[in-house]
Structure 1
Amino acid sequence: MLDLILCVDDDPITLMLCKKVIIKASFSNTIITAKNGEEALEYFNSIINKKEINNLPNLIFLDLNMPVMDGWEFLENFSTNKYSEVNTIKIVVLSSTIDPEDLQKSKKYPMVIDFLSKPITTSMLNYLESKI
């Protein structure tokens, strides 16, 4: 079981479902959420500024299509030296579409360990346990 997971998605129903499935599967003790990439980066900025590197999520579930800052923009920013203390966290892209171009593009980011189709399921979490 993981200590902490960050779910980044603009859809409150998807976030609620994500939390329920993770809790039901006993996959993580704590689940935190962000509504877009910008909110997620603000969370990491706060951790870096407060030097609370021990409070990092073990895994990030990241949506691609969000307002304000989408998943691609988050990945671009998160890959920079500014986040070098935290950008080794494993990321699973959760998308409503499985576009082969998006799958290829996601492989550019070493922290992305998988690209899965929404919605999250317990079988998905069982599969991911072997990758974490």
Structure 2
Amino acid sequence: MLDTILCVDDDPITLMLCKKVINKSSFSNEIITSQNGEEALKYFNTIRQNNDDKHHHPQLIFLDLNMPVMGGWEFLDYFNSPEFSDFSAIKVIVLSSTIDPEDLEKAKKYPMVIDFLSKPITLSMLEYLKNKIS
């Protein structure tokens, strides 16, 4: 079981479903949510500024691609920069409603992205991820 995960999605229903499925599967002790990439980056900046202990660092991020304010690709560009190198051990799962082959290829360019899965999140998906990240 992971300590903390971060779900980044602009859809409140998707976030609620994410929380329910993750809680049901005992996949993580704590689920933090952000409604877009900018909110997620602010969360990481707060951790860095407060010199927060590792307990609040999510081990995994579920990331939507298409969001207002700042989408998933833009978030990944920032998160992959030296400014966020403190968090380089955090893995990212892209969770998108469309599986575009071009997006799959683009995701491979980011070292932190370990998988690209189709929404919605399911119990079988989490079982698959448990085996993949353990």
TM range, smaller chain: over 0.9
Partner of 2:31, secondary structure, is strand
Partner of 2:44, secondary structure, is helix
Number of aligned positions between the proteins = 132
Specify the alignment match of 1:90 in structure 2: 91
Aligned partners of 1:102 and 1:17: how far apart in 2? 24
Specify the alignment match of 1:14 in structure 2: 14
2:131 pairs with 1:130: yes
Alpha carbons 2:59, 2:89 under 8 Å: kept: no
Aligned partners of 1:116 and 1:109: how far apart in 2? 15
Alpha carbons 2:65, 2:72 under 8 Å: kept: yes
Aligned partners of 1:116 and 1:82: how far apart in 2? 27
1:131 deviates by 1.6
What is the TM-score of this pair, normalised by structure 2?
Answer: 0.97
Specify the alignment match of 1:50 in structure 2: 50
1:105 deviates by 0.1
**1:44 is matched by which residue type in structure 2?**
F
**2:48 is matched by which residue type in structure 1?**
I
Give percent identity, aligned residues only.
71
Aligned partners of 1:65 and 1:97: how far apart in 2? 10
Aligned Cα RMSD in Å? 0.7
1:130 deviates by 1.4
Specify the alignment match of 1:66 in structure 2: 67
Summarize the alignment of residues 71-82 of structure 1 with structure 2, pairs less than 5 Å apart.
Answer: 71-82=72-83
Partner of 2:115, secondary structure, is strand
Alpha carbons 1:62, 1:92 under 8 Å: kept: yes
Structure 2 segments unaligned to the other structure (5+ residues): none
Any runs of at least 4 consecutive aligned residues in structure 1 with deviations exceeding 4 A, and if so which? none
